[in-house]
Structure 1
């Protein structure tokens, strides 16, 4: 009987179009469907300005990611960048840990949102059963391989975009038809006069959560055809497409619904659609929102598993995690590790201020990414592939620090606590390695 050898490399299945779809699906996802109302509560009718500021900050860091993704097209993403620049294992482990936290905690929260949407139309299923079924299905798809995951992502992304196009279409028709739109617009105009730059930047600090996802593209670089060329292009195209949609949807939403009503809504875009077109079947839009949420959970799962795989292969985590399945060529052991953690968080932990905390963690890591690019460019000089001038990572670093300063106090506290857990893990890891060496 012929022995099946373990696979030693990931399959390259992404072309530029499918990688852009992957990135757009990761960015759009659950963010805009959930946080636009909360941002309206901070910046009122100027919610679109908060999204524009957040997109500008994200674009600067995206340019840094584009060069780093071209220079270092390996799984592991930010942890690999920091390791290459600082050559300090403990810092790379900390960064990898924080990135892992954002993915897994986001998976847990998204699963709760999925269960909540489903419960509106199928209240017979308890939350715990829906969460278990959702994660089991996502784990199976992730295990099967990137080809299957990419196919589901394309389907979900198509639904996500169609849902946002529905919001745009019914809102434009509603506003162009007059009627009660004038009241909403008048209220919005009056509200915007009371909104200052502080409120806009506070909204931008939260809106940044909706842009999270473009950085995940570099985590699948080893599964991309011609990554030195396609990864930078996909990062910039994905962010640009998602950003234009966000700004337009947020502006229209604040015109159709009073910002106060938008802020109080648990399903803001659904309420916008029903206000603009009361006869629109709400179940259809809810179905779309379910798949938008599902897509984000899937992509977070993929990112977390590839992150652990890349860090393990580079010696930052136990080598046991770097084994690929002999037939599927997927990092199945990392999937097994992530699954119970995500389920535990979803079933037992209240995740308040998650969006703000996640954005704060991501912005902190982006600071390190931009510092890494500056160090690598100075040490190694220019390289073949995509290049940006040194002023870009400098501006990106400064803008990241500004948004961190405008994040809520609770977000700062939770982000610090998660970082503290990471330092404890690094201490335990180093102590174990010293004991093993002796």
Structure 2
């Protein structure tokens, strides 16, 4: 029976399998398809080591998210965690802004890759048109609801995962069948060595972004205290194994120089490993991969805005749900406008680096929040990690931030500054209304 009254709660539609698929689909995709060449530039044949380091850093923070997701299963993600830990409204709002920026800058990055792949097949279509078309379609799916978004996620995850499995299969046959000339392992040099490997890891970290999005749909999960922690750990483990395997195989099929210079690195790996494989098929698989990641970032950003508005951290206008679809339609419209502008203004490399830097900053604050919460409430039922886990995670995240490109630091700081100014403006307006 339909009603015109506005819904006040989200629908619980995720079980553990669907939530793991959601997480794997969010992690896999755009990162490995788009940036493996950029990771190879500093780390050369040891690109797979960069992926291992990035996975280790992500794993420590993922464990922190797993406990926080079980303790505090609500929309708002890290903004909600920081609010519960420090109870400082302006800090929580700023953290929510950083998370929001991470989502929309990642979406902008992905849209550039989507347009690039499609323009390779249909060069008559301009980039700006494809970017707007992508976001309009994803906005509509997001508006329709989580069931529709989850169904599209399922389809895209199956397609993008099949593409990665094709890479693993064909590259393995090529290498272990004796056709490959194994690329020489680059020795660790004093002047580049671990600096290059860790620099590559700071970029590879972008490929692991996504596990944290699971906590932002916690209110749409059945039995979230149990399923959210398990889904985070399982999703990251599955994605990590696939990434490391592909990175090792890729530099044994193509030379590091060829891989680093490729505009479609995994397509080139497939073409070298099996020249007779239909190139058109693998040309379109990345489209589904990047579209899937953009969709899940869109869902996360809209739920984040909804959660922050409901807690009074931003104007409540943005937290209204559609009376029939029970989706945050106003947040979706705001995100559409912002992300299109950013996508048309930036380059893929700059946007990817800025995304990784922003999310590392957010992860530092997440782990600090868990340290505070665990000291305040040391004993709970459910998933727990030792205090040393978030402490190590803070140090590892700071290490990768230090190795990120300077341009990424500048643009990340710019987004944070904009957020701080908006918060200051909002607080000033509130004070004037009270007086």
Task: Please report the TM-score for the alignment, with normalisation by the length of structure 2.
Answer: 0.97
Structure 2, unmatched stretches of 5+, are none
Deviations 1:185-212 (A, max 9, x none): 2x432x2454622211111111101000
Separation in 2, partners of 1:406, 1:336:
35
**1:228 is the counterpart of 2:233:** no
Partner of 1:252: 249
Bigger Cα displacement from structure 2, 166-175 vs 107-116: 107-116
Shift of 1:406: 1.4
Aligned-residue RMSD, C-alpha: 1.4
Separation in 2, partners of 1:64, 1:170:
37
Shift of 1:384: 2.0
Separation in 2, partners of 1:417, 1:231:
33
Mapping of 1:67-106 within 5 angstroms?
67-106=67-106
Mapping of 1:32-71 within 5 angstroms?
32-71=32-71
Bigger Cα displacement from structure 2, 65-74 vs 319-328: 319-328
Separation in 2, partners of 1:157, 1:105:
21
Separation in 1, partners of 2:241, 2:376:
36
Shift of 1:26: 0.3
Deviations 1:27-50 (A, max 9, x none): 012000011111111111110000
Partner of 1:213: 210
Question: Retained in 1: the 8 A contact 2:113–2:348?
Answer: no
**1:264 is the counterpart of 2:299:** no
Shift of 1:126: 2.2
Separation in 2, partners of 1:345, 1:408:
19
Separation in 2, partners of 1:136, 1:364:
30
Deviations 1:252-284 (A, max 9, x none): 001100001100001111111101111111110
Question: Retained in 2: the 8 A contact 1:45–1:192?
Answer: no
1:341 to 338, 348, 358: 338
Question: Retained in 1: the 8 A contact 2:112–2:348?
Answer: no
Distance 1:352 1:247, change over 3 A: closer
Bigger Cα displacement from structure 2, 377-386 vs 350-359: 350-359
Structure 1, unmatched stretches of 5+, are none
Task: Give 3-state SS (helix, strand or coil) of 1:383's partner.
Answer: coil
Task: Give 3-state SS (helix, strand or coil) of 2:29's partner.
Answer: helix
Separation in 1, partners of 2:406, 2:141:
38
Distance 1:23 1:162, change over 3 A: same
Task: Give 3-state SS (helix, strand or coil) of 1:381's partner.
Answer: coil
Deviations 1:400-420 (A, max 9, x none): 111111112222122112111
Partner of 1:303: 300
**1:411 is the counterpart of 2:408:** yes
Question: Retained in 2: the 8 A contact 1:68–1:81?
Answer: yes
Q: Which consecutive segments of 4 or more residues in structure 1 shift more than 3 A?
A: 192-195, 348-352
Separation in 1, partners of 2:417, 2:58:
26
Partner of 1:120: 120
**1:375 is the counterpart of 2:372:** yes
Shift of 1:123: 2.1
Partner of 2:161: 161
Task: Give 3-state SS (helix, strand or coil) of 1:353's partner.
Answer: helix
Separation in 2, partners of 1:127, 1:39:
25
Partner of 1:132: 132
Task: Give 3-state SS (helix, strand or coil) of 2:363's partner.
Answer: helix
1:202 to 199, 202, 220: 199
Task: Give 3-state SS (helix, strand or coil) of 2:383's partner.
Answer: coil
Partner of 1:362: 359
Question: Retained in 2: the 8 A contact 1:188–1:259?
Answer: no
Separation in 2, partners of 1:85, 1:30:
33
